Protein backbone atom coordinates (compact mmCIF):
# COMPACT_ATOMS: atom_id res chain seq x y z
CA UNK A 1 0.00 0.00 0.00
CA UNK A 2 1.41 3.39 -0.99
CA UNK A 3 0.40 6.22 1.34
CA UNK A 4 0.99 9.75 0.05
CA UNK A 5 1.27 12.32 2.82
CA UNK A 6 1.89 9.49 5.30
CA UNK A 7 3.77 11.76 7.71
CA UNK A 8 0.84 14.15 8.04
CA UNK A 9 -1.93 14.21 10.60
CA UNK A 10 -4.36 11.80 8.98
CA UNK A 11 -1.71 9.96 6.96
CA UNK A 12 0.34 9.02 10.02
CA UNK A 13 -2.72 7.64 11.83
CA UNK A 14 -3.60 5.76 8.64
CA UNK A 15 -0.13 4.18 8.65
CA UNK A 16 -0.77 2.83 12.16
CA UNK A 17 -4.18 1.49 11.16
CA UNK A 18 -2.74 -0.20 8.05
CA UNK A 19 0.24 -1.71 9.89
CA UNK A 20 -2.13 -2.92 12.63
CA UNK A 21 -4.11 -4.75 9.96
CA UNK A 22 -1.16 -6.46 8.32
CA UNK A 23 -0.60 -4.16 5.34
CA UNK A 24 2.87 -3.39 4.01
CA UNK A 25 3.14 0.39 4.01
CA UNK A 26 5.29 2.56 1.72
CA UNK A 27 5.15 6.32 2.33
CA UNK A 28 5.92 9.35 0.21
CA UNK A 29 5.82 12.80 1.79
CA UNK A 30 7.52 16.15 1.19
CA UNK A 31 7.21 17.20 4.87
CA UNK A 32 5.65 20.53 3.83
CA UNK A 33 3.51 20.41 6.98
CA UNK A 34 4.91 17.35 8.76
CA UNK A 35 8.08 15.74 10.02
CA UNK A 36 9.85 12.38 9.54
CA UNK A 37 10.08 12.08 13.35
CA UNK A 38 6.54 10.78 13.25
CA UNK A 39 7.54 7.39 11.83
CA UNK A 40 9.37 6.29 15.00
CA UNK A 41 6.07 6.90 16.81
CA UNK A 42 4.04 5.08 14.17
CA UNK A 43 6.34 2.06 14.40
CA UNK A 44 6.35 2.10 18.19
CA UNK A 45 2.56 2.02 18.34
CA UNK A 46 2.17 -0.60 15.61
CA UNK A 47 5.13 -2.74 16.69
CA UNK A 48 6.03 -3.04 13.01
CA UNK A 49 8.19 -1.09 10.60
CA UNK A 50 6.98 1.10 7.78
CA UNK A 51 8.38 -0.63 4.65
CA UNK A 52 10.02 2.48 3.21
CA UNK A 53 9.72 6.25 3.38
CA UNK A 54 10.59 8.60 0.52
CA UNK A 55 10.89 12.37 0.76
CA UNK A 56 9.46 13.66 -2.46
CA UNK A 57 6.95 16.02 -4.01
CA UNK A 58 4.35 14.10 -6.01
CA UNK A 59 4.84 16.48 -8.90
CA UNK A 60 8.38 15.10 -9.25
CA UNK A 61 7.18 12.28 -11.49
CA UNK A 62 10.62 10.84 -12.07
CA UNK A 63 11.16 10.36 -8.31
CA UNK A 64 7.63 9.06 -7.86
CA UNK A 65 8.03 6.62 -10.73
CA UNK A 66 11.20 5.26 -9.13
CA UNK A 67 9.17 4.42 -6.01
CA UNK A 68 6.65 2.49 -8.13
CA UNK A 69 9.57 0.74 -9.89
CA UNK A 70 11.08 -0.32 -6.59
CA UNK A 71 7.94 -1.57 -4.83
CA UNK A 72 5.01 -3.59 -5.94
CA UNK A 73 2.19 -1.14 -5.24
CA UNK A 74 -1.34 -2.56 -5.52
CA UNK A 75 -3.30 0.44 -4.23
CA UNK A 76 -2.76 4.03 -3.15
CA UNK A 77 -4.15 6.09 -0.28
CA UNK A 78 -3.72 9.69 -1.35
CA UNK A 79 -3.59 12.15 1.56
CA UNK A 80 -0.82 14.49 0.38
CA UNK A 81 -2.24 18.00 -0.03
CA UNK A 82 -2.26 21.52 1.34
CA UNK A 83 -5.30 21.96 3.57
CA UNK A 84 -5.63 25.44 5.01
CA UNK A 85 -8.60 27.50 3.89
CA UNK A 86 -6.86 30.81 4.63
CA UNK A 87 -3.60 29.55 3.10
CA UNK A 88 -5.52 28.79 -0.07
CA UNK A 89 -6.88 32.33 -0.25
CA UNK A 90 -3.37 33.73 0.12
CA UNK A 91 -1.75 31.35 -2.37
CA UNK A 92 -4.44 29.93 -4.69
CA UNK A 93 -2.03 28.95 -7.46
CA UNK A 94 0.14 27.02 -5.01
CA UNK A 95 -2.95 25.19 -3.75
CA UNK A 96 -4.17 24.24 -7.23
CA UNK A 97 -0.68 23.28 -8.32
CA UNK A 98 0.04 21.13 -5.25
CA UNK A 99 -3.36 19.52 -4.81
CA UNK A 100 -4.46 19.12 -8.42
CA UNK A 101 -0.97 18.83 -9.95
CA UNK A 102 0.02 16.32 -7.26
CA UNK A 103 -3.05 14.24 -8.03
CA UNK A 104 -2.58 14.25 -11.81
CA UNK A 105 1.12 13.37 -11.41
CA UNK A 106 0.11 10.50 -9.14
CA UNK A 107 -2.54 9.30 -11.62
CA UNK A 108 -0.11 9.38 -14.54
CA UNK A 109 2.45 7.42 -12.54
CA UNK A 110 -0.15 4.92 -11.36
CA UNK A 111 -1.30 4.49 -14.96
CA UNK A 112 2.26 3.90 -16.22
CA UNK A 113 2.70 1.20 -13.59
CA UNK A 114 -0.66 -0.50 -14.04
CA UNK A 115 -1.98 0.55 -10.61
CA UNK A 116 -5.69 1.33 -10.73
CA UNK A 117 -6.99 1.39 -7.18
CA UNK A 118 -7.10 4.62 -5.19
CA UNK A 119 -8.63 5.91 -1.96
CA UNK A 120 -8.78 9.69 -2.30
CA UNK A 121 -8.85 12.16 0.54
CA UNK A 122 -11.54 14.68 -0.34
CA UNK A 123 -13.38 17.08 1.93
CA UNK A 124 -16.82 18.06 3.16
CA UNK A 125 -15.63 21.58 2.28
CA UNK A 126 -16.66 20.87 -1.34
CA UNK A 127 -20.29 21.50 -0.32
CA UNK A 128 -19.60 25.12 0.68
CA UNK A 129 -22.26 27.13 2.44
CA UNK A 130 -25.25 24.83 2.29
CA UNK A 131 -27.37 26.10 5.15
CA UNK A 132 -28.46 24.32 8.29
CA UNK A 133 -29.43 20.86 6.95
CA UNK A 134 -27.38 17.65 6.84
CA UNK A 135 -25.43 17.14 3.63
CA UNK A 136 -25.61 13.82 1.88
CA UNK A 137 -23.43 12.92 -1.09
CA UNK A 138 -26.01 14.20 -3.57
CA UNK A 139 -26.05 17.72 -2.10
CA UNK A 140 -24.97 20.43 -4.55
CA UNK A 141 -21.25 21.15 -4.56
CA UNK A 142 -20.32 24.83 -4.12
CA UNK A 143 -16.68 25.18 -3.05
CA UNK A 144 -16.24 28.47 -1.16
CA UNK A 145 -12.44 28.78 -1.35
CA UNK A 146 -9.50 27.55 -3.48
CA UNK A 147 -8.75 24.68 -1.06
CA UNK A 148 -12.28 23.28 -1.45
CA UNK A 149 -12.22 23.98 -5.19
CA UNK A 150 -8.93 22.09 -5.55
CA UNK A 151 -10.47 19.02 -3.89
CA UNK A 152 -13.53 19.30 -6.12
CA UNK A 153 -11.33 19.54 -9.24
CA UNK A 154 -9.52 16.38 -8.16
CA UNK A 155 -12.86 14.61 -7.71
CA UNK A 156 -13.94 15.62 -11.21
CA UNK A 157 -10.65 14.41 -12.70
CA UNK A 158 -11.02 11.09 -10.88
CA UNK A 159 -14.63 10.74 -12.02
CA UNK A 160 -13.55 11.36 -15.62
CA UNK A 161 -10.76 8.80 -15.37
CA UNK A 162 -13.20 6.22 -14.01
CA UNK A 163 -15.75 6.98 -16.72
CA UNK A 164 -13.21 6.45 -19.49
CA UNK A 165 -11.11 3.66 -18.02
CA UNK A 166 -13.11 0.77 -16.60
CA UNK A 167 -10.07 -0.75 -14.89
CA UNK A 168 -10.05 2.02 -12.24
CA UNK A 169 -11.65 1.83 -8.81
CA UNK A 170 -11.65 5.08 -6.83
CA UNK A 171 -13.18 5.64 -3.42
CA UNK A 172 -13.53 9.30 -2.65
CA UNK A 173 -13.77 10.04 1.06
CA UNK A 174 -15.26 13.45 1.76
CA UNK A 175 -14.38 13.89 5.34
CA UNK A 176 -15.61 16.71 7.41
CA UNK A 177 -13.40 17.95 10.30
CA UNK A 178 -11.00 15.22 11.42
CA UNK A 179 -9.48 16.00 14.83
CA UNK A 180 -8.26 14.26 17.99
CA UNK A 181 -5.26 11.97 18.26
CA UNK A 182 -4.16 8.38 18.71
CA UNK A 183 -5.20 7.24 22.23
CA UNK A 184 -1.56 6.48 23.11
CA UNK A 185 -0.78 10.22 23.05
CA UNK A 186 2.22 9.46 20.82
CA UNK A 187 0.59 10.60 17.61
CA UNK A 188 -1.50 13.69 17.02
CA UNK A 189 -1.89 16.90 15.08
CA UNK A 190 1.26 18.98 15.02
CA UNK A 191 1.11 21.54 12.22
CA UNK A 192 4.08 23.74 11.40
CA UNK A 193 3.69 27.25 12.86
CA UNK A 194 0.40 28.62 14.11
CA UNK A 195 -2.36 25.99 13.76
CA UNK A 196 -5.02 26.94 11.24
CA UNK A 197 -7.42 24.28 12.54
CA UNK A 198 -9.56 24.75 15.60
CA UNK A 199 -8.84 21.73 17.80
CA UNK A 200 -5.01 21.92 17.73
CA UNK A 201 -5.27 25.67 18.38
CA UNK A 202 -7.52 25.06 21.38
CA UNK A 203 -5.11 22.41 22.70
CA UNK A 204 -2.15 24.77 22.32
CA UNK A 205 -4.00 27.49 24.24
CA UNK A 206 -4.91 24.98 26.96
CA UNK A 207 -1.28 23.90 27.37
CA UNK A 208 -0.12 27.54 27.53
CA UNK A 209 1.72 27.58 24.21
CA UNK A 210 -0.67 30.25 22.89
CA UNK A 211 -2.39 32.94 24.91
CA UNK A 212 -6.00 33.00 23.71
CA UNK A 213 -8.17 31.41 21.09
CA UNK A 214 -9.51 33.75 18.43
CA UNK A 215 -13.00 32.63 17.53
CA UNK A 216 -13.55 33.67 13.93
CA UNK A 217 -17.03 35.16 13.83
CA UNK A 218 -19.76 35.48 16.44
CA UNK A 219 -22.40 36.68 14.00
CA UNK A 220 -23.13 33.56 11.96
CA UNK A 221 -26.80 32.56 11.58
CA UNK A 222 -26.36 29.74 14.11
CA UNK A 223 -27.84 29.39 17.64
CA UNK A 224 -24.77 30.80 19.42
CA UNK A 225 -23.45 32.86 16.48
CA UNK A 226 -20.30 30.75 15.94
CA UNK A 227 -19.77 28.47 12.95
CA UNK A 228 -20.89 24.86 13.04
CA UNK A 229 -18.81 21.91 11.82
CA UNK A 230 -18.93 18.12 12.01
CA UNK A 231 -15.85 17.01 13.99
CA UNK A 232 -14.86 13.40 13.44
CA UNK A 233 -12.18 11.54 15.37
CA UNK A 234 -9.03 10.90 13.34
CA UNK A 235 -9.11 7.22 14.42
CA UNK A 236 -12.63 6.88 13.03
CA UNK A 237 -11.48 8.63 9.86
CA UNK A 238 -8.60 6.22 9.27
CA UNK A 239 -10.71 3.21 10.21
CA UNK A 240 -13.09 4.26 7.44
CA UNK A 241 -10.14 4.35 5.02
CA UNK A 242 -9.01 0.88 6.05
CA UNK A 243 -12.55 -0.47 5.63
CA UNK A 244 -12.57 1.22 2.20
CA UNK A 245 -9.66 -1.00 1.15
CA UNK A 246 -11.82 -4.06 1.72
CA UNK A 247 -14.25 -2.56 -0.81
CA UNK A 248 -11.80 -1.61 -3.55
CA UNK A 249 -12.59 -4.92 -5.18
CA UNK A 250 -16.39 -4.47 -4.99
CA UNK A 251 -16.34 -3.25 -8.57
CA UNK A 252 -14.86 -0.58 -10.84
CA UNK A 253 -15.80 3.08 -10.96
CA UNK A 254 -15.83 5.91 -8.49
CA UNK A 255 -17.88 6.05 -5.35
CA UNK A 256 -18.12 9.03 -3.01
CA UNK A 257 -18.75 8.82 0.73
CA UNK A 258 -19.14 11.40 3.45
CA UNK A 259 -17.09 10.60 6.53
CA UNK A 260 -18.49 12.54 9.44
CA UNK A 261 -20.23 12.07 12.76
CA UNK A 262 -23.48 13.55 11.51
CA UNK A 263 -23.58 15.96 14.45
CA UNK A 264 -22.88 19.67 14.32
CA UNK A 265 -20.81 21.48 16.95
CA UNK A 266 -20.25 25.22 17.09
CA UNK A 267 -16.86 26.70 17.92
CA UNK A 268 -18.23 27.56 21.38
CA UNK A 269 -19.43 23.94 21.78
CA UNK A 270 -15.89 22.72 21.06
CA UNK A 271 -14.44 25.14 23.63
CA UNK A 272 -17.03 24.06 26.23
CA UNK A 273 -16.58 20.31 25.66
CA UNK A 274 -12.79 20.67 25.69
CA UNK A 275 -12.85 22.65 28.96
CA UNK A 276 -15.28 20.25 30.60
CA UNK A 277 -13.68 17.00 29.41
CA UNK A 278 -10.10 18.05 30.05
CA UNK A 279 -10.68 20.22 33.14
CA UNK A 280 -8.80 23.15 31.66
CA UNK A 281 -9.76 26.70 30.75
CA UNK A 282 -9.54 27.98 27.19
CA UNK A 283 -9.61 31.78 27.20
CA UNK A 284 -10.98 33.23 23.97
CA UNK A 285 -11.93 36.40 22.12
CA UNK A 286 -14.54 36.60 19.42
CA UNK A 287 -13.02 38.32 16.39
CA UNK A 288 -14.26 38.98 12.83
CA UNK A 289 -15.08 36.08 10.53
CA UNK A 290 -12.23 34.37 8.69
CA UNK A 291 -12.51 34.91 4.93
CA UNK A 292 -13.51 31.75 3.06
CA UNK A 293 -15.32 30.24 6.08
CA UNK A 294 -18.98 29.22 5.98
CA UNK A 295 -21.65 29.00 8.67
CA UNK A 296 -22.66 25.36 8.75
CA UNK A 297 -21.17 22.11 7.34
CA UNK A 298 -22.54 18.88 8.81
CA UNK A 299 -22.63 15.46 7.17
CA UNK A 300 -25.39 13.03 6.60
CA UNK A 301 -22.93 10.16 6.90
CA UNK A 302 -25.45 7.33 6.64
CA UNK A 303 -24.43 6.17 3.12
CA UNK A 304 -21.15 4.63 4.29
CA UNK A 305 -22.97 2.79 7.08
CA UNK A 306 -25.53 1.50 4.63
CA UNK A 307 -22.86 0.43 2.11
CA UNK A 308 -20.19 -1.01 4.39
CA UNK A 309 -21.77 -1.32 7.82
CA UNK A 310 -19.18 1.11 9.19
CA UNK A 311 -19.99 3.98 11.52
CA UNK A 312 -17.89 6.26 13.74
CA UNK A 313 -17.42 5.10 17.33
CA UNK A 314 -16.10 8.25 19.01
CA UNK A 315 -17.64 11.62 19.86
CA UNK A 316 -16.47 15.20 20.43
CA UNK A 317 -15.49 14.50 24.06
CA UNK A 318 -13.23 11.65 22.86
CA UNK A 319 -11.71 13.99 20.28
CA UNK A 320 -10.97 16.61 22.96
CA UNK A 321 -9.64 14.07 25.48
CA UNK A 322 -7.25 12.50 22.96
CA UNK A 323 -6.10 15.84 21.49
CA UNK A 324 -5.39 17.05 25.03
CA UNK A 325 -3.45 13.90 25.95
CA UNK A 326 -1.25 14.36 22.87
CA UNK A 327 -0.74 18.04 23.66
CA UNK A 328 0.16 17.38 27.29
CA UNK A 329 2.62 14.61 26.43
CA UNK A 330 4.07 16.66 23.55
CA UNK A 331 3.74 20.31 24.57
CA UNK A 332 6.08 21.33 21.73
CA UNK A 333 4.68 18.76 19.33
CA UNK A 334 7.16 16.48 17.62
CA UNK A 335 9.87 19.14 17.80
CA UNK A 336 13.12 17.65 19.08
CA UNK A 337 11.67 14.15 19.17
CA UNK A 338 14.66 12.47 17.50
CA UNK A 339 14.61 8.92 16.31
CA UNK A 340 16.74 8.01 19.39
CA UNK A 341 14.60 6.81 22.33
CA UNK A 342 11.45 6.55 20.23
CA UNK A 343 12.96 4.38 17.56
CA UNK A 344 13.08 0.66 17.16
CA UNK A 345 15.36 0.84 14.16
Catalytic residue chosen out of the listed positions 95, 147, 201, 220: 147
Site size with ligand UDP, rule: CB under 6 A:
16
Q: Closest residue (Cβ) to ligand UDP? A: 227
Q: Is 216 in the site for ligand UDP (CB under 6 A)?
A: yes
Secondary structure of 226-281 as H, E, C letters: CCEECEEEHHHHHHHHHHHHHCCCCCCEEEEEEECCCCCEEHHHHHHHHHHHHCCC
Q: Active-site residue 127, yes or no? A: no
Q: Is 33 in the site for ligand UDP (CB under 6 A)?
A: no
Q: Which one of the spans 39-47, 211-219, 271-279, 335-343 is the region binding ligand UDP (CB under 6 A)? A: 211-219
Q: What letter would DSSP give residue 124?
A: G
Binding mask 99-128 for ligand UDP (x = CB under 6 A): --------------------------x---
Angle between helices 234-246 and 9-20 (to 10 degrees): 50
What CA–CA distance (Å, rounded) separates 145 from 142? 9
Nearer to ligand UDP, 6 or 143 (CB): 143
Q: Residue 85 CB, nearest distance to ligand UDP (Å)?
A: 5
CA 227 to each of CA 277, 290, 296, 305: distance values in angstroms, whole numbers, following the listed order: 21, 10, 6, 27
Report the site for ligand UDP in 255-274 (rule: CB under 6 A).
Answer: 267
Q: Is 92 in the site for ligand UDP (CB under 6 A)?
A: no
Q: Residue 308 CB, nearest distance to ligand UDP (Å)?
A: 25
Q: Is 234 in the site for ligand UDP (CB under 6 A)?
A: no
Report the site for ligand UDP in 268-327 (rule: CB under 6 A).
Answer: 290, 293
In degrees and rounded to multiples of 5, residue 257 shows phi and psi of: -130, 135
Secondary structure of 93-120 as H, E, C letters: HHHHHHHHHHHHHHHHHHHHCCCCEEEE
Q: What letter would DSSP give residue 19?
A: H
Angle between helices 267-278 and 316-329 (to 10 degrees): 60
Q: Report the interface residues with ligand UDP, using CB under 6 A.
A: 85, 125, 177, 196-198, 201, 213-216, 227, 229, 267, 290, 293
User: Would you please indicate which residues are annotated as catalytic (active-site) residues?
Assistant: 147
Amino acid sequence: MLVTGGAGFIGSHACVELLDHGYEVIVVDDYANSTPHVFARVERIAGRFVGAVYELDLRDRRALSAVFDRHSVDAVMHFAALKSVSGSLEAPVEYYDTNVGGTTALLRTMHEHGVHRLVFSSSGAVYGDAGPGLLDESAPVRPANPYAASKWLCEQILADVCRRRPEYTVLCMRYFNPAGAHPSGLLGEDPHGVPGNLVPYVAQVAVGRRERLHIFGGDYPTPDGTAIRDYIHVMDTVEAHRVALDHLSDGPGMRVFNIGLGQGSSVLDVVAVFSETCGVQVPYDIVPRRPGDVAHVVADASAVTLAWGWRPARNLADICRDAWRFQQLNPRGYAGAGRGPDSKR
